[in-house]
Structure 1
């Protein structure tokens, strides 16, 4: 009996020792790989920004191309570029600013009521990074981060606009978990290509760009504001419409883009 007890005790000790050793190795690997993970995450962000703007080039690295992109912080409460004082007060570093994290911080975001939240984001950060491609002092392209809820997931993407701040240059999602073959078609290059040259704002300055159920009728006088909906994915299509109208509208980048159009860039 004693021998049996010793055997069980030894087995438990060995098992616990192995667990401890494995956990140490796993923790060490996680810490050691963290810088690489962060580098890859940043590279992926840059690649998606450049992809939305149609700037990826064969033979050039992402970092090399991204050197032509200027990152700025926008104060969504004022509709203007954030001042140094505002960023200092908010503790914002342009290079490391994380809008998703800021949206969860009550000090850096606002809670949205249901009637204010068509994109179902619940909280909106007070500041956002935007990405500018300039020629001298003139903005040739601007890339804006957008997100909102589809059927199953929050979809995160970038929309690029031409220098009139109204015509879509490119649009795509980099993070979504919609139904493959249905809502997941937001990743389809053919569908993303349909956004190019569409208009965001009508003559009254309202963000009216939307997905059209059943496809766009070319004879429709409002066809310039419409993109083919996703077949069999009504809720995802509705989510895309809501999120682009929200972020390009009066509670998102609308006031900022309107200021750029009327006053130019400083």
Structure 2
């Protein structure tokens, strides 16, 4: 009589294919191997994905800047590059303990987010990050242009954009919509250059300091308005609220004030 085979793997393989034990063990092993492969691929691809996202954002920024009148010449004079700064939104100053390299990790911590009260949450975000990465074009100590990432709720979902503000921090130089879920043919027209073309030269605040920017219901009729989109009133309201939030005291307001006072 042949001796008992104590090798568990050979004993498993020797079981008939109809064996419930064999089926369960093989299924478990296949699942475990697949999980390890997926996890490994995620770890290996994460730096590539992060780099691709950064490259896409830089491409959008470059495209935005090129479409702002006179910006090409200014970039050439300044060496053709924008400086990147991580801002502490509460103080409006450059963050001392967060860099562009550590920002993503910092924002993965819920402690670095601020819950917004219903009355102040114009953009409908619920929470606002404590830090934001912005881009500045300088001529010596003078800031010529600030590129500010903004986000808010539209009709179909979240809208992400980058707003370019001139050095006076009260005149919009341009806008680039980077992500949205608005209705095709209606609210989705916010990504059209023809609509975005109404932003340059629009003022944010009146002489008293009150934010007056808004998306008109039709054609803009004041220095504080941009053209509305027919049939997309709720999308326009979302843009209005998004801009008012981020350019106000709970967004970039402290930064804007510091730049206007020459303290940044």
Which residue of structure 1 aligns with residue 180 of structure 2? 176
Which residue of structure 2 aligns with residue 47 of structure 1? 59
SS in 1 for 2:18: helix
Which residue of structure 1 aligns with residue 16 of structure 2? 6
Structure 2: segments with no counterpart, 5+ residues: 1-14, 69-77
SS in 2 for 1:53: helix
Pair member with larger Rg: 2
> In 2, are the aligned partners of 1:52 and 1:169 still within 8 Å (CA)?
no
Matched residue count: 239
Output aligned runs, 1:116-135, within 5 Å.
116-135=120-139
Output aligned runs, 1:77-116, within 5 Å.
77-79=90-92, 81-82=93-94, 87-88=96-97, 92-98=98-104, 102=107, 105-116=109-120
Which residue of structure 1 aligns with residue 262 of structure 2? 264
Structure 2-normalised TM-score?
0.79
Output aligned runs, 1:57-76, within 5 Å.
68-76=81-89
Residues 1:254 and 2:257 are matched in the alignment: no
Alpha-carbon deviation of 1:231?
A: 2.0
SS in 2 for 1:257: helix
Provide the rounded CA distance (Å) in 1 between the counterparts of 2:215 and 2:196. Answer: 12
Which residue of structure 2 aligns with residue 235 of structure 1? 234
SS in 2 for 1:240: helix
Alpha carbons of 1:134 and 1:25: their partners in 2 closer, same or farther (altered >3 Å)?
same
> In 2, are the aligned partners of 1:137 and 1:265 still within 8 Å (CA)?
no
> In 2, are the aligned partners of 1:212 and 1:228 still within 8 Å (CA)?
yes
Provide the rounded CA distance (Å) in 2 between the counterparts of 1:165 and 1:69. Answer: 17
Output aligned runs, 1:160-239, within 5 Å.
160-216=164-220, 220=221, 223-239=222-238
Alpha-carbon deviation of 1:245?
A: 0.8
Alpha-carbon deviation of 1:158?
A: 0.6
Alpha carbons of 1:44 and 1:192: their partners in 2 closer, same or farther (altered >3 Å)?
same
What RMSD in Å do the two structures reach over aligned CA positions? 2.7
Alpha carbons of 1:20 and 1:66: their partners in 2 closer, same or farther (altered >3 Å)?
farther
Provide the rounded CA distance (Å) in 1 between the counterparts of 2:27 and 2:113. Answer: 47
Alpha-carbon deviation of 1:30?
A: 2.5
